Structure 1
């Protein structure tokens, strides 16, 4: 029985990699080349078993024998240029936040869709790439992982204790790692926000941890204050009072607790989208 052939995208999925990483590797390995915006096999690619397949819906594409997954070239993928997804896994932050961080450091700039490399990005080894869909993206050498400026920024984003006494990326002062994560997320996504914002209603008032004026949205952080009973009691009292006032005066708010500190990106992006603002 003839061996089954699969597309490059299916091959990437089979070996647990991003398809755009595999396209980059096969191009650098001399197996495929892009001509007039279409992928073509080189003689080397044909030698390694690549063929053209015609699909009634998707047209012509390159396919590979399934056994190619064991080829020594594919073992180089971990050392191939790092995509935003690779960096996200290594840095333990969302991939879409990686690109915002790299943009904030001047290494890339946003395009209509995707990202373009800047001159500064070229100097640190960034390479401009293009996905099969035509969307531009950038890959990076592993030396980027050792960049001290990026390391410092990452400590800020994850709220590491080593930066607990420092201001956030936009200069705000915060009280805990949760507030640090939220403040830095708002800064990286270019969301206008106020810190310790005072709301006043006749004789009542409250101070929101963060306030997003474009959405009239408050963001509250209920962090466990190091397990100290006195602090915990104060937090609970403040929380109950704010809930009552927000309900009384119909204030929109979203709140975070210790257990969802790692969901800041998803929760805030989703809440803002509900209110008509798309971050990504």
Structure 2
């Protein structure tokens, strides 16, 4: 009788054994000619059968592919460090979310928005990107070689997105991805989010009433003003903040307010706040 440790592994279990995401392994096996997609299911190729793949049956899932445990030592898996990365996986390596990663890649011209997903451009293909399609929804997306993480252009752009490296300009102000100069790193993060999400905006925008007050941001599409209230808790700062809020109310100007606590979650906070003011992204 076989030991339980010799029990064949599903492709998902095999992926877990080699510390990779199942989707990565499916892509690697398909690219290596071991499996191929037929309709809605993966099928073994003669190469996959030669390597020990066979079919098993499950009452819940029906027929599926299993592999011998010894396969975890196969030379193929030495290629896994170069296995394709999704935007979420690449973003995790860069320190940003998957959605923001796609927006940054689009800003670089490596992908473009297409059919509710992303289409690889010629520039992206030259860097090793591959066009993929979600198995269930059919939504297109791009995958990337792990080497893309070391791309100097992507590294510089990511640093600028996060307010690192060259984002701090010579005169002490912060240069955003769109070239705007901001007075703080926090404002830069907001500016970069607006820019990557295609929200037209101006910075240091004059308020439409007497005085020399300037709004942090103005969004003309929704006729909205956006203010960032920082960490400063001094009496003088709080007094200015309350006075500014009172002016917005007095002149009935729509205002979106961002606090320091929201900066790590702009993808959740800003779409909701803008929608409440009638601006749909």
Q: 5 Å matches for 1:29-48?
A: 29-36=32-39, 38-46=41-49, 48=52
Compute the displacement of 1:217 (Å). Answer: 2.5
Over 3 Å counting, the alpha-carbon distance change for 1:243 and 1:277 in structure 2 is closer
Secondary structure in structure 2 of the residue aligned to 1:85: helix
Stretch of structure 1 that moved more, 16-25 or 64-73: 64-73
- Check 1:111–1:55 CA distance in 2 against 1; reply closer, same or farther (3 A cut): farther
The TM-score, its normalising length taken from structure 1, stands at 0.79
Q: Tell me which residue corresponds to 1:191.
A: 199
Compute the displacement of 1:214 (Å).
Answer: 1.8
What is the rounded CA distance, in whole Å, between the counterparts of 1:214 and 1:50 in structure 2?
57
User: Is residue 88 of structure 2 the alignment partner of residue 85 of structure 1?
Assistant: yes
The residue number in structure 2 matching 1:181 is 189
Matched, 1:99 2:102: yes
Are positions 1:149 and 2:129 aligned together?
no
CA contact (8 A) 1:20 1:132 kept: no
- In the alignment, structure 2 segments of 5+ residues that lack a partner are none
Partner of 2:28: 25
C-alpha displacement at 1:25, in angstroms? 2.1
Residue 16 of structure 1, CA deviation: 7.3
Asked whether 1:129 is paired with 2:136, we answer: no
Superposed displacement of residue 168, structure 1: 1.6
Q: Is the 8 A contact 1:269 1:278 kept in 2?
A: yes
1:267 is paired with a residue whose SS is helix
- Give, in whole Å, the separation in 1 of the partners of 2:59 and 2:201: 50
Select 1:216's aligned residue among 220, 223, 227.
Answer: 223
CA distance in 2, matches of 1:6, 1:136: 29
- What is the aligned length? 271
TM-score (norm 2): 0.78
Asked if 2 retains the 8 angstrom alpha-carbon contact of 1:100 and 1:189, the reply is yes
Partners of 1:258 and 1:94 lie apart in 2 by: 19
1:156 positional shift: 1.5
**What residue in structure 1 maps to residue 112 of structure 2?**
109
Structure 1: gaps of 5 or more residues:
none
Gap change, CA 1:218 and 1:77, over 3 Å in 2: farther
User: Matches of 2:46 and 2:29 in 1, distance apart?
Assistant: 13
CA distance in 2, matches of 1:251, 1:55: 61
RMSD: 3.4
Deviation for aligned residue 1:209? 0.6
Partner SS state of residue 30, structure 2: helix
